[in-house]
Structure 1
Amino acid sequence: MPEIRAEIRLPTQELRDDLPFYTKVLGLRLDMIYPADNPEVAVLSGHGLRIRIEKGAAEAPGTIRILTDDPGAFPARNLTAPNGTKVEIEDLNPPLVLPATEHAFVVRRLADQAPWVIGRAGMHYRDLVPSRLGGAIIASHIRIPDGGPVPDMVHFHRVGFQLIFCVKGWVDVVYEDQGPKIRLTAGDCFIQPPEIRHRVLEASDGIEVIEIGVPAEHVTEIDHDMTLPTPHHRPDREWQGQRFVHNVGAQSPFKPFRIPGFEARDTTINANTKGVASVMVARPSGAAAPATRHDTDILFTYVMSGEMTLKGEGKAPYRLTMGDAFVIPPGMTTQYSDATSDLQLLEVTLPGVFRTTLL
């Protein structure tokens, strides 16, 4: 392959004023300068950047962002070079910020025809909680209309919690330290611990999944160096205290749910995240369900099949069907009623351990 170099050009009025700032303050290396008798162009490099400072260049001074694990090594977080270029010093790995939840009662109906948006790797996204509860959570209904290989790369997410639950079709994914590719089928789920490397390989026609991410806005990074699958299978490995989970729905027994009149199967996510979140699949068990209220921070539910009526304190009843979703804030009295026998609910709560009061 031919050797290729890329440069960012910045203007200057007097090169001799800029060189001390870029070399001594920013720590860049001077690679080239000319003409010798009256320099008008200098090329500097460092921190993964190559800059060409040129006297009389027509461009605006621009902004340089330097990411470092030691911001204190620079004289200030915001600097201005003699040529007018702004310099922002940022943390290389800033701490994950979890916004305070803005609690609200939310009902999102599939029949309301919320728009599908084409997102990463050509996937279609439908937002199930438009307010995102103030940035605390994103809940997406994702589909891939045409199956086959997925144009994905090895990547990871800077998150506090992330769930992938398959509601239709199948998808093949490969994960760091989890062996060869794993097929996720309808009724199964993955928990993707923070920063676990993974890659989506192939999907069936019309696959649909529910993806939950905390916080709502989080960074996805591409890992150009890792090849998957990795040579080691380490099922007990933890990422920030969480283990990878592949829960197979058909192998999970139903037991009494937190709400009488329902039974549920546990995906083991509460145990494997050490209480960060709980994910349950609930269905009616025959008896009428009482009114209840809960004290967890976020309680999100997606209707996977069947129908039911959701009654909320001070709200008109909602008749919910497959594809609908709702959020019940803590302390609000609600009741599930008139459920069809084929009703199945996906319930995600954060944190995973909380109290339900029967009324």
Structure 2
Amino acid sequence: MTDPQPATPLRVTISCADLDASLACYTDELGFRLDMIMPADAPRMAELSGYGLSLGLRRVEHAAHPDDAEGGAETIPAERDAVASTDWIVGRAGMQYRDLIPGRWDGRVIASHIRIPEGGPVPDYVHYHRVGFQMIFCRRGWVRVVYEDQGPPFVMQAGDCVLQPPTIRHRVLEASPGLEVVEVGCPAEHETWRDHALTLPTSERRPQRLFGGQRFVRAVATEAHWQAASASHCLYRDTGIAEATDGVADVRVLRANSEQACSAPAWLPEGGARFVFVLRGRLRIHGVDGALRELSADGACLLVGTDASKFEAVDADTEWLDVCLSPQALQS
């Protein structure tokens, strides 16, 4: 499409039953360009432009089916609705998503288990998210990515983690067969905008640049050191995300220092929430209300306030991803 865009394009909104099919028709056949899509895990709206038009596509909503509660995370109180779904659905750029917090705590936080079964080049594009907080943890396999002002493309291996600060431009380039990542973001629904003008990698590398008050972080698992969390019988490796976000969020990988219950580490801010994803082994979470929840590998739950008093590693090799979100993150 070569015709210039007018300063004030005519606005048209169209409802459709199948957003993917409609997108393919307007972009591949009619020559419109995709500008925005949301939400990434199950798109229901998109913004396109071309021929003097600003075109909004809106998927017709259908009645939601009950969440499948088999496998995944353990149930916690209904207001948190944190039973991980067992369903995989196709989202943005053909990636498959499993919802780890279907209720999303009234839209405050989303956690997605994302996979690319076949691997190879990923049909992604340079884009950014209008989001308050977002991190990616590589669960299995590897993925090659590139970020604005962060140098050439690099490969994330299992155990690696990145902080994607608000509006940083980035692109997923290639993945191993069976790639899996865990993504946590606030708010639960946010816009993904395509940047048609920027080419990555950018010519200048600026690792200290701030995006929305946050700095890009790449935490490499093989370079990390395990530390003891005082008086909690836990070991942890830090990602540097707390410092880079000025306390908006704290992301660490934890393991029990011994086969006994350990107190919940103290870095959860008052009024915040804790997302837990088990990487290996089995983890028991003892609630202050006496409730006992047991999660196995790939199980997840959202803990709010003082829901958890003790973590117990059932197996000697138990490890879990611990994402603590401040009230500031949850209000973004």
Whether these two folds match at TM > 0.5 is: yes
- How many angstroms apart in 2 are the aligned matches of 1:223 and 1:237? 19
| Partner of residue 307 from structure 1, selected from 282, 288, 292 | 282
Structure 1 pair 200–290 and aligned structure 2 pair: CA distance change class (3 A): closer
Shift, 1:50, TM fit: 8.6
Aligned with residue 225 of structure 2, among 253, 257, 267 = 253
% identical equivalent positions: 44
Q: Is 1:48 the counterpart of 2:20 in the alignment?
A: no
Unaligned runs of 5+ residues in structure 2 are 13-76
TM-score, normalised relative to structure 1: 0.67
**Number of aligned residue pairs:** 261
TM alignment of 1:1-359, pairs within 5 A: 46-49=7-10, 104=79, 107-108=82-83, 114-257=86-229, 260-286=232-258, 288-292=260-264, 295-314=270-289, 316-351=291-326
CA RMSD of aligned residues (A): 2.6
Structure-2 change in CA distance of 1:288 and 1:325 (3 Å): same
- Ranges of 4+ aligned residues in structure 1 off by more than 3 Å: 3-6, 102-109, 290-294, 313-316
The 3-state SS of whatever aligns with 1:341 is coil
- 8 Å Cα contact 2:256/2:313 also seen in 1: no
> How far, CA to CA, are the matches of 1:352 and 1:46 in structure 2?
39
Are the counterparts in 1 of residues 110 and 186 from structure 2 also a CA contact under 8 Å? yes
Specify whether residues 306 and 290 from structure 1 end up closer, same or farther in structure 2 by C-alpha distance, changes over 3 A only. Answer: closer
Closer/same/farther in 2, CA of residues 269 and 307 from structure 1, 3 Å limit: same
CA deviations over 1:129-165 (Å, ceiling 9, x no partner): 1110111111000000000000001000000010000
For normalisation by structure 2, the TM-score amounts to 0.72
1:103 Cα deviation after fit: 9.5
Structure 1 letter corresponding to 2:9: G
Could you give the per-residue CA deviations for residues 1-20 of structure 1, whole angstroms, max 9, x where no partner exists? 8x7699xxxxxxxxxxxxxx
- Tell me the secondary structure at the aligned position of residue 283 of structure 2: strand
Change (3 A) 1:279 1:255: same
Structure 2: how far apart are the matches of 1:171 and 1:150? 10
Equivalent-residue separation in structure 2 for 1:320 and 1:146 (angstroms): 28
Measured after TM superposition, the shift of residue 319 of structure 1 is 2.5
Cα deviation, 1:143-198, whole Å, max 9, x if unaligned, reads 00000000001000000010000010000011111111011110001111100001
1:275–1:352 Cα contact (<8 Å) kept: no
Q: How far 1:262 moved relative to its partner?
A: 1.2
Q: Larger relative contact order (C-alpha < 8 A, sep ≥ 6)? A: 2
Are the aligned partners of 1:140 and 1:210 in contact in 2 as well (CA < 8 Å)? yes
